[in-house]
Amino acid sequence: MKLILENNVFANIHADIAVRMVDSSMLEALEERALLERFGFKGKSEESCLLLERGLLFCGVEDFSNDALRQAATTAIRTLWKLQTPRVKFEGFGLERIAALVEGVVLGGYRFERYKSEKSECAIREVVFASTSHEGVLEPYDAMKSRFEAARIVAEATNYTRDLVNATPEEIYPEALAQAARDLAERNDLTCTVLDEAALDAEKMMAMLAVGRASCHQPRLIHLAYTPQNPTKVITLVGKGLTYDSGGLSLKPAASMVTMKMDKAGACAVLGILKAVSELGLPIEVHGFIGVAENMVDANSYKPDDVLRARSGKSIEVRNTDAEGRLVLADVLDYAQSQVQADYLFDYATLTGACVVALGPYTSGVMGHSESLKAAALQAADQSGELVGVLPFNRHLKKLIKSEIADVCNVSSKPYGGAITAGLFLDHFIREEMKQKWLHFDIAGPAYTESAWDCNSYGATGAGVRLTLALLQQL
């Protein structure tokens, strides 16, 4: 499916199907009003009506915001997926809206069918967008084209992330994800360094090594970097990459183990962000540090009651081996801070079920000490179409991860505020000079879905990619 921005008004673009987006207030003025009413079309969100003989597809919108247009474009591409409509055209809605339309088509048209014997083929060959305003007036083409191409790059990077997350743990294990990073580095002119088990041991990353030691696939630490000349900022991204999480000796219930391939979503988001940053040619230096491990069970498993010594020198009392992601991140965060002096440090992890309880399955939790940075993340969420809620740190919750025998405990002593106490655990490994430059994103809710919503189909959503690219451009 090829995306084209045509320097032409909508009416003059040739296509097999024309997609029109309308709200309820526009129905009365439409020439097709009687037909639409007969089919019960009322112009509501996620509603569509195909008039095939007239070559028209009407999609309802609540308003003409980015979110509504992204949803409508998703509805359109899914409606037309199997129809013999080689060329489809969309109305233009101006510079501020073209990205939402492109994302709706690219993200809404995503399907993961790698493991199916028979794959569904999209009959659409070209999707054409008019380079016009909402009023149908031609916009400056160069500016429109720049927004169009940037949106395509971001959407395709999100789908790249989805592919990695959706891959099974049999296919993507620590070394395999490291190889995916090497392949990306080769394609996109990035630098890539991978630390194996011996190198991790030399770095005294004992918390991360403990998590991975029961697996036949040994842990890896990936450092991927995009380093343009004269960067305006230096950004460090850290991703949790549990290619599979059984819970370890604190074994998950059987039902909870299904979909645990998604526990690498933070790591995959970092790869997707670096893919997009390099293709956009942003004038910022970006380093991605990814801790990759499998949390499995055997005679060598780490145990509740173990005390682990992290790379920073701090000791960690283990009370639950299913709180493993924060142990991996503790070492990777410390390593990242020792390697790069960054202006900002962001980490991404499917860290806690408590975040899903707090914010629901569609919203990422953001935590940190800087109010201005958290406000910037909320603004970036509005721009990107991702949903983010702030979870506040406080000194009383911090007491819940106090250990009587070590510097910190890996889980709270009470079953409340679990997403925040996990963030406060990570805060133990953020150096003082980085406290005001750090944000923690818990993407456990939106990273994976078993029912379609917005532009997300079953499976991985690529949570964090669009959000972070909006944030980076804002900063």
CA dihedral of 294, 349, 327, 366, whole degrees rounded to 10: -170
Angle of helix 265-280 relative to helix 141-166, nearest 10 degrees? 150
Active site residue 147: no
Measured between alpha carbons, how far is 267 from 19 in angstroms, rounded to an integer? 37
Report the chain's terminal Cα–Cα distance, integer Å.
33
Sign for the CA dihedral angle at 37, 39, 45, 48 comes to negative
* Strands 315-317 and 48-51, bridge-based pairing: unpaired
Instruction: Write the DSSP string, 369-425.
Output: S-HHHHHHHHHHHHHHT-EEEE----HHHHGGG--SSSSEESS-SSSSSHHHHHHHH
User: Catalytic residue among 111, 145, 252, 398, which?
Assistant: 252
Measured between alpha carbons, how far is 110 from 327 in angstroms, rounded to an integer? 33
Active site residue 303: no
The DSSP secondary-structure symbol of 252 reads P
User: Catalytic residue among 240, 311, 326, 466, which?
Assistant: 326
Angle at 99 between CA 96 and CA 103, to 5 degrees: 150
What is the distance of C-alpha 348 from the center of its chain? Answer: 9
* 177, 303, 356 from 114: Cα distances, Å: 17, 36, 28
H or E segment to which residue 357 belongs: helix 353-359
Angle of helix 141-166 relative to helix 98-108, nearest 10 degrees? 30
All residues at 6 or more sequence positions from 440 whose CB lies less than 8 Å from its CB, including other chains: 346, 347, 349, 366, 367, 368, 423, 426, 427
Measured between alpha carbons, how far is 160 from 110 in angstroms, rounded to an integer? 10
Angle at 121 between CA 115 and CA 124, to 5 degrees: 145
Residues known to be catalytic: 252, 326
